[in-house]
Amino acid sequence: MSAARPFGVVVADEVRRELSGRARVVALETTLISHGLPHPRNLMLARAVEAAVREAGAVPATIGVVEGRIKVGLDDADLVRLAEGAKGGGNVVKASTRDLALVAARGLTAGTTVAATIHLAAASGIRVMATGGIGGVHPGGEASLDVSADLDALARTPCAVVCAGPKAILDLPRTLEALETRGVLVAGYGTDRLPGFYVRETPLSVPMLDGIEAAERLLQAQEALGWPAGIVIANPPPGDLALEPDAFGAMLDAALEAAGAEGVQGSGLTPFLLRHLAAASGGRTVRLNEALVLANARLAARLAAYRG
Ligand code: PSU
Ligand code: MN
């Protein structure tokens, strides 16, 4: 057992050096690798995202837990290990904020959600992270209380999260309301409509950021205020793969109906819906998911590397 090893967060040398210098670092989450995308494309994406961050002039800090070691900055063997989670079998788990201590204490391997990732990023001095979509209020969440810990983590963690909006299978109006209650701003990057992950825009209004400088000014204003919350920077998904709202709505309704018919609920619901959407769209939703994660990582890297 690992009882003799002290607990703590292991920050990779390259990340540590960068943080003590120019601090151009982008944090990346790993639940989307371990549980969000099929193997081996998830591994290819994890590598491609790190390369995209480097190309844009920043240092990637992919965050996850490997055999109980909480790491900020994974090496390639760690990525290989975490990507195996998508093969199933349960030897790679999903860790949100609640779970971090448990996986560390048990020596488990885990992909970290947005909530757990921003906690570890901010604690290490990283102020920007990138992902595909954040969690939020699930349909019916007002009764079931199935509301992602991402929302509460955003409320108390000063880290900007670049994403394509909340995961499309969520209740978006209630997710925006819950973020407002928690003092978390959601801004649109180049848009005044909330992006909806698979669709470029939803009817929901958000303040627009017209470029990197506007985004950086917003982060600086927030930092100056001392308000402890993160900011969500919602970047519309790439137009060539994004779905039309009506077509997506019909696909989602069919997926929800199938889930209801098969009695799928709880933590199994999201993977079921994602698989259903992938099949119904001929794989397009998976390609779109990959493309938007890459685009978000590039934008986060430009933000991290921006110096007025
Ligand atoms: N968006 C995706 N795929 C994912 C996730 C988001 O397209 O796998 C992950 C993120 O890590 C997010 C998490 O933080 O799902 C939210 O999970 P929950 O609702 O259980 O908090
Ligand atoms: Mn949940």
What is the residue extent of each domain of the chain? 1-125, 127-308
Q: What pLDDT is stored for residue 1 in this prediction?
A: 52
Q: At residue 42, what is the residue type?
A: N
Question: Locate tokens 């801004």: which residue?
Answer: 187
**227 has pLDDT over 70:** yes
Q: Which CATH architecture has domain 127-308?
A: 3-Layer(aba) Sandwich (3.40)
What's the rounded Cα separation, in Å, for the pair 34 and 92? 7
Q: Let me know: does 82 contact 33? Beta carbons within 8 Å.
A: yes
Give me the phi and psi of 160, to 5 degrees please. -80, 135
Orientation of helix 149-156 relative to helix 172-181, angle to 10°? 30
Average pLDDT over residues 156-168: 96
Question: What's the pTM?
Answer: 0.96
Q: What pLDDT is stored for residue 103 in this prediction?
A: 98
Q: What pLDDT is stored for residue 308 in this prediction?
A: 63
Domain 1-125 has CATH 3.40.190.10: no
Percent of the chain past pLDDT 70, that is, above it, reads 98
Which conformational region is residue 233 in: left (phi greater than 0), alpha (psi within -120 to 50 degrees), or beta? beta
Give me the phi and psi of 73, to 5 degrees please. 105, 95
For residue 114, the ligand 1 atom closest to its alpha carbon is: 14
Q: What pLDDT is stored for residue 250 in this prediction?
A: 96
Average pLDDT over residues 227-250: 96
Average pLDDT over residues 29-53: 96
Residue nearest to atom 17 of ligand 1 (CA): 135
What's the rounded Cα separation, in Å, for the pair 45 and 30? 11
What's the rounded Cα separation, in Å, for the pair 209 and 179? 18
Average pLDDT over residues 209-226: 96
Average pLDDT over residues 122-148: 95
At 266, is the pLDDT very low, low, confident or very high (cuts 50, 70, 90)? confident
What's the rounded Cα separation, in Å, for the pair 295 and 190? 14
Nearest ligand by distance to the CA of 265: 2
Peptide bond into 271 cis (omega under 30): no
Q: Is 113 in the pocket of ligand 1 (CB under 6 A)?
A: yes
Average pLDDT over residues 130-149: 94
Mean pLDDT of the residues in the chain:
95
Q: What pLDDT is stored for residue 211 in this prediction?
A: 98
**2 has pLDDT over 60:** no
Q: Let me know: does 139 contact 170? Beta carbons within 8 Å.
A: yes
**29 is annotated as an active-site residue:** yes
Look up residue 176 and give its two tokens. Answer: 């925006």
Look up residue 285 and give its two tokens. Answer: 């939703």
Mean pLDDT check: name the lowest of 3-7, 72-76, 169-173. Answer: 3-7
Look up residue 96 and give its two tokens. Answer: 């949100």
Question: Locate tokens 């019916």: which residue?
Answer: 140
Q: What pLDDT is stored for residue 3 in this prediction?
A: 55
Q: How far is the CA of 137 from the centre of ligand 2 (A)?
A: 8
Domains 1-125 and 127-308 share a fold: yes
Percent of the chain past pLDDT 90, that is, above it, reads 89
Cα–Cα nearest to 78, from 53, 111, 55: 111
Residue nearest to atom 18 of ligand 1 (CA): 148
Average pLDDT over residues 27-56: 96
What's the rounded Cα separation, in Å, for the pair 168 and 221? 30
**55 is annotated as an active-site residue:** no
- Which of 129, 145, 270, 292 maximizes ligand 1 atoms within 8 Å of its Cβ, making it the mutation to test the pocket? 270
Let me know if 253 is exposed, middle or buried by CB neighbors in 10 A (0-12, 13-18, 19+). Answer: exposed
